[in-house]
């Protein structure tokens, strides 16, 4: 049985206050390869992406000798659009916090764990209602909301750990080729904060 994740994320190098020395890395994986793994294990594309992230995080934490015995926690944005709302503008997003199995060495076992966790999380509707998130931002201009969010997370980070260690999101790109000034867009990499 999958247990409900703890309220606080395990301590570690992720979630520390931001500094001018923050770095990030990028990587790409073939969608066809992801679908091959998905089909072989009866999982979802999202499950495979989460498994890849868990493996990369595990490798990094092992390399810096900070791998905890318990799983990290991942915040995963989830679309809560109804069928009628598909194709409309604007975001309708909620979030799930799920265990990220960095404590599992075997990739196949890691994927099975993730598939089970995600199924339970979706079935139990652990995601926050989209109305809650939308209502909070309806009355505040976007620039002010973004600045306030940064201040709150910076100040709160001095006194408490965040409720998750990492954020994992994958969104399909456009189904057509895009160009800018004649140059073809090859890839998109979002960067938070």
Q: What is the chain's mean pLDDT, rounded?
A: 79
Has residue 180 been placed in a domain? no
Has residue 13 been placed in a domain? no
- Looking at the 3D structure of the chain, how many domains does it have? 1
Structural domain that includes position 51? 31-170
Of 1-10, 82-91, 132-141, least confident by mean pLDDT is: 132-141
pLDDT classification of 1: cutoffs 50, 70, 90: very low
Has residue 187 been placed in a domain? no
Q: Is the pLDDT of residue 152 over 90?
A: no
Has residue 35 been placed in a domain? yes
pTM of the model: 0.75
Q: What is the pLDDT of residue 126?
A: 46
Q: Is the pLDDT of residue 57 over 60?
A: yes
132: helix, strand or coil: helix
pLDDT classification of 81: cutoffs 50, 70, 90: low
Has residue 96 been placed in a domain? yes
Q: What is the pLDDT of residue 18?
A: 72
Going by the DSSP 8-state scheme, the letter that residue 62 receives in this structure is H
Provide the Cα torsion 29, 116, 75, 93; round to 10°.
90
């Amino acid at each position: 049985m999958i247990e409900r994740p703890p309220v606080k994320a395990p301590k570690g190098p992720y979630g520390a206050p931001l500094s001018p020395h923050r770095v990030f890395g990028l990587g790409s994986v073939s969608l066809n390869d992801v679908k091959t793994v998905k089909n072989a294990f009866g999982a979802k594309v999202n499950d495979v992406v989460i498994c890849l992230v868990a493996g990369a995080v595990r490798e990094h934490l092992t390399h810096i000798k900070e791998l905890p015995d318990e799983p990290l926690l991942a915040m995963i944005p989830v679309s809560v659009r109804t069928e009628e709302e598909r194709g409309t503008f604007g975001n309708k997003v909620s979030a799930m916090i799920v265990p990220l199995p960095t404590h599992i060495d075997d990739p196949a076992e890691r994927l099975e764990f993730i598939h089970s966790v995600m199924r339970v999380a979706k079935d139990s509707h652990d995601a926050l209602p989209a109305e809650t998130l939308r209502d909070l931002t309806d009355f505040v201009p976007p620039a002010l909301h973004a600045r306030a969010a940064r201040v709150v997370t910076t100040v709160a980070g001095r006194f408490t750990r965040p409720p998750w260690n990492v954020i994992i999101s994958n969104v399909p790109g456009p189904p057509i080729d895009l160009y800018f000034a004649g140059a073809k867009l090859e890839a998109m990499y979002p960067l938070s904060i």
